[in-house]
Amino acid sequence: DEFQLSYSADTWIEQLGLFLRDVVLADAANNDGDSPRKAHIVGNSVGGYLAAVLSSLHPHLVSTVALLNATPVWGLNLPFWDGKLPAPFVPRRVGRALFDVIREEGTIDRYLEAAYATRGAYDGTFHDGFGDESSTGDGRGVEGDGGLGKKIRACTEGKGGHAAFASILWSAPASAPDYFSAEGHLQQQQQQQPTMKQQQQQQQQ
């Protein structure tokens, strides 16, 4: 049920933080018996934006961040709608029109051409590891693979893509602590430093 669901950066970051804490790092702790470790985060495209904000909000969960072709924004905070589904008529039509342009194979190909140094890295010349197809044994892709562009296009053909894209456009940018304000600096210190009671307990042990 997507009623009142917003595809905002805050929604995605909350889900990523919970997944990282309760699944990724919890499994690592269970496997080696140690306390939860920090994770290495890799963000591609809009995932790069989310990875950067996630690491700033939850530095205790993140060890390093690698950004691949990262986008600088998520959500334009456009007027007359808060991004919560269902979308009104105008955002729905605008979102559908822009989404159809962005997911055209020619548009995807131009983005990939700008992101990759070699066309053979994404046009199906070499096996890319996405999907269930096998390679020819020498690292080259199988005939009819279509390359990364067709796989990206296929991901956009599910139900609800247009509405989700409209919600992303109209939603607000991610919330983030103000590290440069006195209040924000104090909050960071409080999160990172043990309390006096915790220090006393550590000394007694």
| pLDDT average per 10 residues of sequence, the chain (205 residues) | 89 92 79 70 92 90 92 88 94 94 94 89 75 50 68 89 92 72 42 47 57
So what's the pLDDT on residue 128? 61
So what's the pLDDT on residue 92? 93
So what's the pLDDT on residue 100? 95
SS (H, E, C) the chain: CCCCCECCHHHHHHHHHHHHHHHHHHHHHHHHCCCCCCEEEEEECHHHHHHHHHHHHCCCCEEEEEEECCCCCCCCCCCCCCCECCCCHHHHHHHHHHHHHHCCHHHHHHHHHHHCCCHHHCCCCECCCCCCCCCCCCCECCCCCCHHHHHHHHHCCCCCHHHHHHHHHHCCCCCCCCCCCHHHHHHHHHHHCCCHHHHHHHHHC
pTM listed for this prediction: 0.70
So what's the pLDDT on residue 135? 47
So what's the pLDDT on residue 50? 93
Write out pLDDT tens, residues 118-156: 998 888 887 765 554 544 445 554 444 578 899 999 989
So what's the pLDDT on residue 177? 61
